[in-house]
Amino acid sequence: MTVRRIIVEPRGLASLRLTLTVPLLSVLAALVIGGVFLWITGDNPFTVYGHMVDAAFGSSRGVSETLISATPLILTGLAAALAFKMLVWNIGAEGQFLLGAIVAAGIAIAMGDTIPAVLAAPVVIVAGAVGGALWAAISAFPRVYLGTNEIITTLMLNFIALNLMNYLIFGSSSPWRDPLVSTFPTGRPIPDAASLPRFFNRLDVGIFIAIAVAVFAWYLVNRTRWGFEVRVVGDSPETARYAGIQVPRKILGVFLLSGAFAGLAGALFVAGPVGALDPRSLDLGLGFTGIIVAALARLNALAVIPVAILMGALNNAGPSLQSIGVPPEIVTMLQGAILIFAVGGEFFIANRLRRPELPPDVLATGAAA
């Protein structure tokens, strides 16, 4: 008797076409699942999706709002992509983002309008990145020197960061809180000197900073000695040690840089579209969405840009669905489904399925048996 079945075997190098096709199919599959869900609940999926596309890209305001939503996602996506590439499971971009926002807002408010804008905005941005890096450092040092699990510490620090922000605005009369608003507390407005200049509707220069950072991250990983060492550590820490690479220092560097990217996202968000440390505008899960962005971009820094724009478009389109009576949560569901399909799709990028080839004589005798 002859055995014949489908074989799963690892692919050496997936073609560029395949690595592009699989994420696109993941998005498509998620849309189909979401469509089925919409259909069951009595909505026409085509109408809903049409409305979403229109809201995200149908007008100049739509496009600018989509890019505004995409800006922080590019950076939190990079934060996740860089860390995951080195098997550092920093899922604390959310908290690092918030700390970046808190520090940036704090510095901006402290400086007021005393410093010229050319200086104030850069100082605020850098301060936000440092804030994110320091928040990451709370997890990074124990991870490297004591072997603690960074998944747990970064996750827990997200809640601490969120509650810290809530305390600063809702629970105290801190300098961050706007003293003029008492019924519905919010953050003190960022002074004009530190606000990012806008150039297209509400869109500010933050988008260019985010794209520049993505290019910088790609260059760093692929074209520098440091990046080469990071790639070796991410692939095989034992090999890195053997080759004389200081593994703890590399992990620390990646962890802090990852936190800095997320913190930068928070700084750009408060100094740009939000304009204050406003918990209602900042607590959107942008750090968590960054994980989806990184996964769908297959941890490639340049691919993060278009993927973040896609996710930004979804985020932007969500609220507008209420006008046609569809819950905006459909967007969160779609993003979750995209992540699941993207992760599942990895299997098909890494492996190939085929039927075993049989020599002609075996086919002949096999058929007889």
CA 66 to each of CA 73, 200, 259, 280, 281: distance values in angstroms, whole numbers, following the listed order: 11, 12, 24, 19, 15
DSSP-assigned beta bridge partners for residue 204: 198
Site stretch for another protein (CB under 8 A), options 77-85, 193-201, 202-210, 350-358: 350-358
CB distance 221 to 230 below 8 Å = yes
Residue 175 in contact with another protein, rule: CB under 8 A: no
Position among 24, 36, 243, 324 found at the interface with another protein (CB under 8 A): 243
Residue 360 in contact with another protein, rule: CB under 8 A: no
Nearer to another protein, 183 or 225 (CB): 225
97: nearest Cα among 208, 259, 215, 328 = 259
Site stretch for another protein (CB under 8 A), options 10-18, 87-95, 96-104, 307-315: 10-18
Residue 147 in contact with another protein, rule: CB under 8 A: no
* CB 217, min distance to another protein, A: 15
Q: Fill in the amino acid letter for 220.
A: L
The burial class, CB within 10 Å (0-12 / 13-18 / 19+), for 135 is: buried
Position among 357, 360, 367, 368 found at the interface with another protein (CB under 8 A): 357
Cβ partners under 8 Å of residue 182, min gap 6: none
Give residues 13-32 in contact with another protein (rule: CB under 8 A).
13
- CA dist 283 and 158 (Å) reads 11
Site stretch for another protein (CB under 8 A), options 252-260, 329-337, 340-348, 357-365: 357-365
Report the largest interatomic distance among the alpha carbons of the chain, rounded to a whole angstrom.
92
Cβ neighbours of 295 (radius 10 Å): 23
* Size of interface with another protein, in residues (CB under 8 A): 38
Residue 7 in contact with another protein, rule: CB under 8 A: yes
Site stretch for another protein (CB under 8 A), options 144-152, 181-189, 224-232, 250-258: 224-232
- CA dist 366 and 164 (Å) reads 71
Position among 12, 42, 325, 360 found at the interface with another protein (CB under 8 A): 12
Task: For residue 112, give both structure tokens.
Answer: 């007021």
105: nearest Cα among 184, 191, 182 = 191
Residue 2 in contact with another protein, rule: CB under 8 A: yes
Residue 216 in contact with another protein, rule: CB under 8 A: no
DSSP-assigned beta bridge partners for residue 200: 203
Residue 9 in contact with another protein, rule: CB under 8 A: yes
Nearer to another protein, 12 or 179 (CB): 12
Which positions lie near another protein, rule CB under 8 A? 1-5, 7, 9-10, 12-13, 222-228, 231-232, 235-236, 238-246, 356-359, 362, 365-366, 369
